[in-house]
């Protein structure tokens, strides 16, 4: 099973460090066959002053299609440079928001990207994957409510037809250990199965995201093993691997372990351009 890291944030993402060539060099050194840059795109209007930025030539600018084309062109030039050595693809990690589906659809229409990953970071206007916002939200609403809303949003994302892959599908629990300790995960198949069946019906793959192991209180990937077993039962066949790296040293983090797990469970590896 050849390794591909399809979740990499270069410095175009405002929370990342390291240029695209730095990531490419490390990826080649670590024996990867394919990588995909997945710069953040978050378009929820109410959070524009917080989230809707991209870094261009070292400066923070508001996200626009023009700036996205700067990013795309930069990655495509790098791809030509590494041709024959490393298959470099350009993608987007698109923050899903059901109430702004039309905004997302209009923004990404016609963009010449190879890969579109849909992820949920925001629930009820709150960034549950941000420590600064998540802890108070958990204390106010409880784990069950947050998990339910998270999976609901992802199910709508799967049905939208906009995405190749859904990322970190139980990422709601990222900072939950800081509030709930060991009881930081809600293991309720009834919340997850509608999402998995929606992915199956709409030919959307899932991601095995290794970044959870870089966070305090987590011993499993996103998603946890019990969800992987449910995915198998639901007929999901392919998973992408993603380090969710925000700096070059995080590329391919724990990928040998992740690959073994996918092989043991009988899943295929999602590779861009090789999923027919």
Please indicate, yes or no, if residue 9 is contained in any of the structural domains.
yes
Please indicate, yes or no, if residue 56 is contained in any of the structural domains.
yes
Q: Which domain holds residue 30?
A: 4-269
pLDDT of residue 275: 61
What's 48's domain CATH number? 3.20.20.140
pLDDT in tens, the chain (276 residues): 789 999 999 999 999 999 999 999 999 999 999 999 999 999 999 999 999 999 999 999 999 999 999 999 999 999 999 999 999 999 999 999 999 999 999 999 999 999 999 999 999 999 999 999 999 999 999 999 999 999 999 999 999 999 999 999 999 999 998 999 877 888 999 999 999 999 999 999 999 999 999 987 788 999 999 999 999 999 999 999 999 999 999 999 999 999 999 999 999 999 999 764
Please indicate, yes or no, if residue 134 is contained in any of the structural domains.
yes
Please indicate, yes or no, if residue 239 is contained in any of the structural domains.
yes
pTM of the model: 0.95
Write the secondary structure of the chain as one string of H (helix), E (strand) and C (coil).
Answer: CCCEEEEECCCCCCCCCCCHHHHHHHHHHCCCCEEEEEEEECCCHHHHHHHCEEEECCEEEECCHHHHHHHHHHHHHHHHHCCCCCEEEEEEEEECCHHHHHHHHHHHCCCCCCEEEEECCEECCEECCCHHHHHHHHHHHCHHHHHHHHHHHHHHHHHHCCCCEECCCCHHHCCCHHHHCCCCCCCCHHHHHHHHHHHHHCCCEEEEEHHHHHCCCCCCCECCHHHHHHHHHHCCCEEEEECCECCHHHCCCCHHHHHHHHHHHCCEECCCCCCC
Structurally, how many domains does the chain consist of? Answer: 1
Please indicate, yes or no, if residue 75 is contained in any of the structural domains.
yes
Please indicate, yes or no, if residue 275 is contained in any of the structural domains.
no
Please indicate, yes or no, if residue 276 is contained in any of the structural domains.
no
Please indicate, yes or no, if residue 274 is contained in any of the structural domains.
no
């Amino acid at each position: 099973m050849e390794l591909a890291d399809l979740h990499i944030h270069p410095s175009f993402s405002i929370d990342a460090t390291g240029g695209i060539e730095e990531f490419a060099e490390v990826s080649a050194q670590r024996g990867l066959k394919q990588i995909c840059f997945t710069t953040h795109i978050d378009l929820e209007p109410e959070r524009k002053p917080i989230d809707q930025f991209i870094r261009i030539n070292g400066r923070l600018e508001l996200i626009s299609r023009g700036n996205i084309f700067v990013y795309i062109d930069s990655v495509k030039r790098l791809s030509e440079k590494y041709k024959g050595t490393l298959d470099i693809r350009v993608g987007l990690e698109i923050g899903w928001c059901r109430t702004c589906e039309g905004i997302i659809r209009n923004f990404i229409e016609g963009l010449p990207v190879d890969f579109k990953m849909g992820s949920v970071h925001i629930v009820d206007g709150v960034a549950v994957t941000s420590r600064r916002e998540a802890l108070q939200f958990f204390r106010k609403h409880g784990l069950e409510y947050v998990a339910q809303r998270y999976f609901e949003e992802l199910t709508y994302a799967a049905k939208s037809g906009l995405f190749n892959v859904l990322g970190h599908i139980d990422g709601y629990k990222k900072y939950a250990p800081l509030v709930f300790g060991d009881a930081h995960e809600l293991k309720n198949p009834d919340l997850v199965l509608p999402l998995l069946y929606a992915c199956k019906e709409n030919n959307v793959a899932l991601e095995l995201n290794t970044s959870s192991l870089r966070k305090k209180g987590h011993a499993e990937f996103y998603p946890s093993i019990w969800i992987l077993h449910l995915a198998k039962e639901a007929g999901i066949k392919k998973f992408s691997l993603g380090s969710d790296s925000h700096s070059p040293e995080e590329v391919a983090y724990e990928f040998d372990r992740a690959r073994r797990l996918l092989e043991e469970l009988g899943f295929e590896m999602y590779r861009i351009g090789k999923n027919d």
